[in-house]
Chain A
Amino acid sequence: MIDKPTRFLALCHFWVAFGAFALACVLGLYQVLERSGLVPAIQSPGVYFASVSTHGVLMAFVLTTFFIMGFGYVVAVSSLKTPLWNPKLAWAGFGIAAFGVALAALPLLTGNASVLYTFYPPLQASVLFYLGATLLVVGSWLWCVVMIVMHSQWKAAHPDETVPLPMFATTANAILWLWTSAGVALEVLFQLIPWTLGWVETVDVGLARTLFSWTLHPIVYFWLIPAYIALYTFVPKAAGGELFSHDLGRAAFLMLVVFGLPIGFHHLYMDPEQGSGFKLMHGVGTFLVALPTLLTGFTVIASMEIAGRRRGGSGLFGWIGALPWREPLVLAAILAFLMLIAGGFGGIVNASYAMNAMVHNTAWVSGHFHLIFAGTTVILYMAVGYYIWPRLTGKPLCSASLPVIQLWSWFLGMVLMTTPWHILGLLGQPRRISSVAYNSLLTLAWDPYELAMIVGGLVLTGSALLFAYILWQSQARPAAEQAFEVEYAGYQPADGPVHPLLNGFKVWNVAILGLMVLNFGYPILQFFLAKTFGSIPWGY
């Protein structure tokens, strides 16, 4: 049972997240139209790059952070069966983060922060943008504190018990995020803000890119972990079965945290400020972090097979047809896996050290991360939204069929948009351009794919607006009696509690510290050992 104040807290977080998402999708539609060059009236690099920057910030920072915080509060209260610890602190986190978003929105929407969500010094944005982004992160740190405190209080009160899997994974995510956000926090606080305020004249772009790469990879696991929590603990139950196994799931979350952090240089393979040795080390780690995802795929699909067979499916593949395809969580999981397989293949190409040269900064990369993020991750956020809405509002969803249509159309739109992007990338199209202005025969081959991309963008925007409509309509219905209970999938009994290594984080934090020093220590230190030359600020 989730108490009323926590339900309201979570709903506020979800509305910021999904509102930002819907707006970002509309901007995305403008971008595919503008970029194709088919509508000359809307051609404008100024508007395009302001839009791309806003789209990136809303999707990657606002949708994710607010969704993760709201979902974390729900998981903590419902899985530990304790009241929320320090609701004032949780509301302070929400307020600070929301204020940060409003502060950053001013320069973003007026074209004074068109530096994309990755900041790109020595291009310089309005200081409000950097301050707003900082406050968003500071607000999320308060959420981390609440999660970690609730986790340890529960453990202290239940010394011989196993922390429930959803809460264990949520705490893992809070710890991951504290480690992850430190990189970008160092960049913004010690480099970008002093430089933007004019306290220092120049910024070392090599150091800034190195610090950002610290954040840039594990941040995707911060986004992904709630989706994996849904896969492990909601989907098996929604399918009518139970979790196939338990221990390796916990190990998978730990692996994401430990191996996900020290590998950011695969974003810098093509950069001159880091040497081959460290790039290769980070490259090896990048392949290791594929393991927890492969384990998750196995365990969750095995769990769905248990459900399918229990529902009467037989034979090698018969259980797939027997699954409840009209159940949003199950449908979303199936579609998420399909997109994860394609996106994961692209990711292995990107991660492949020297082969990265073929696709670096091309439309291929946009195709890849839209499949993994907007496909795999966001489709599960949507399914969680459908599952959790009745449990937060006390009202059933307004329709049983609209969510199914919405999820299918999201999948279809993703296929239509990312397939052309992968092909365009192999044909050499850069990812961050607002028009095709090259006087080269090569670009003739790009035209048909741009058309497909627009159709995909249209379908996706329609699907996103339908999603917001369903949630809005459901909440606006007259009150009905509905249980506020969130339930998690059980798992086959094992003999005894889990190993202490799979029930806490102390050892793993030490391991992370060691790996971070090993993989980032010298690469950061080198900028202080050698005499480097910073860059003055540039407009855009």
Chain B
Amino acid sequence: MAFHIHPLERKWLYAASAAIAIFLASILLTALFGGIHPPGHMEIIDSARLHLDGEFMEDKLGVRTEPDGSVRVTLVAARYGFFPREIQVPAGTPITFRIASADVLHGMHAPMTNLSTMVVPGYVSTVTTAFPKPGEYPMLCNEFCGMGHDHMWSKMTVVSKESWTLAHPSAGR
């Protein structure tokens, strides 16, 4: 009783394993040492009470500049839009998005950028990214959320860092 492996097969086994090892090594290196992860960590919220208190109340939504110069965007995803519907953020700056759903499953994706996350009722989605190029970007809902799903999108304008600093003189350094 033994394993019967053809010599050629053994070579292929090693080659295939080596290819997989290279893929895995590059993912593990960038994740563990470069801190590159997909969004998400278990953070619980009561989606039925978003509007009553806390950071997802209507008057607290939108773009805010932190003392260290980074930018935080707080959004509510609800049928059918990401609220507020229009936001403006600076280019070349780390921006942290915090998003909660007021109703069903949603997904947010700004094409041509790294901004992508699922929005699951009962949980807060957090994703941090930076946009190298100024321009207008749509934020599309990319998870089926109901009959109006096709129409669920909001607008994000990325402005150059210079004009952002001029418009927000008190913010940051």
Contact = CB atoms under 8 A, between A and B. Distances in A.
Interface stretch (A188-196, A290-298, A410-418): A290-298
B120 A428 contact: no
A435 to B, nearest CB: 5
Contacts of A269: 38, 40
B72 interface: no
B20 A288 contact: yes
Given A275-B40, A428-B109, A438-B153, A353 B118 contact: no
A414 B132 CA distance: 36
B40 to A, nearest CB: 4
Given A276-B38, A348-B23, A438-B138, A49 B147 contact: yes
Contacts of A270: 38-40, 107, 116-118
Interface in B91-131: 103-105, 107, 109-112, 114-126
Given A271-B40, A298-B12, A247 B5 contact: yes
A415 to B, nearest CB: 24
A49 B147 CA distance: 8
Contacts of B16: 290-291, 294-295, 298
B38 A533 contact: no
A368 to B, nearest CB: 15
Contacts of B1: 496-500
Nearest to A428: B111
A146 to B, nearest CB: 29
Contacts of A526: 42
B164 to A, nearest CB: 22
A302 B111 contact: no
Interface string B15-56: 011011001100110110000111111111111100000000
A274 B42 contact: yes
Contacts of B27: 280, 283, 287, 352-354
A123 interface: yes
Interface stretch (A357-365, A469-477, A504-512): A357-365
Given A245-B9, A494-B4, A273 B40 contact: yes
Nearest to A537: B104
A362 B112 CA distance: 12
A432 B147 CA distance: 11
B104 A204 contact: no
A120 interface: yes
Contacts of B36: 354
B37 A354 contact: yes
A123 B20 contact: no
B150 A45 contact: yes
B142 A431 contact: yes
Contacts of A538: 103-104, 146
Contacts of A116: 144
A358 B47 contact: no
B75 interface: no
Contacts of B43: 272
B76 interface: no
Interface in A249-299: 268-276, 279-280, 283-284, 287-288, 290-291, 294-295, 298-299
Interface in A87-142: 116, 120, 122-123
A532 B38 CA distance: 22
B9 A275 contact: no
Given A291-B17, A295-B13, A362-B109, A271 B142 contact: no
A120 B148 CA distance: 16
A365 to B, nearest CB: 10
B122 A534 contact: yes
Contact of B109 (A248, A288, A298, A360): A360
A540 interface: yes
Interface string A298-312: 110010000000000
Interface in A40-62: 45-46, 49
Contacts of A186: none
B73 interface: no
B99 to A, nearest CB: 9
Given A205-B120, A438-B153, A533-B46, A245 B6 contact: yes
Interface string B137-151: 010111111111111
A45 B147 contact: yes
A518 B119 CA distance: 26
B122 A209 contact: no
9 contacts: A273-B40, A274-B42, A290-B16, A357-B117, A428-B112, A432-B143, A499-B2, A532-B44, A535-B122
Given A434-B150, A538-B104, 20 more contacts: A45-B150, A49-B144, A120-B105, A205-B105, A244-B6, A270-B118, A272-B123, A274-B40, A294-B19, A353-B31, A353-B38, A354-B27, A428-B109, A432-B142, A437-B151, A442-B138, A495-B2, A498-B3, A530-B44, A535-B122
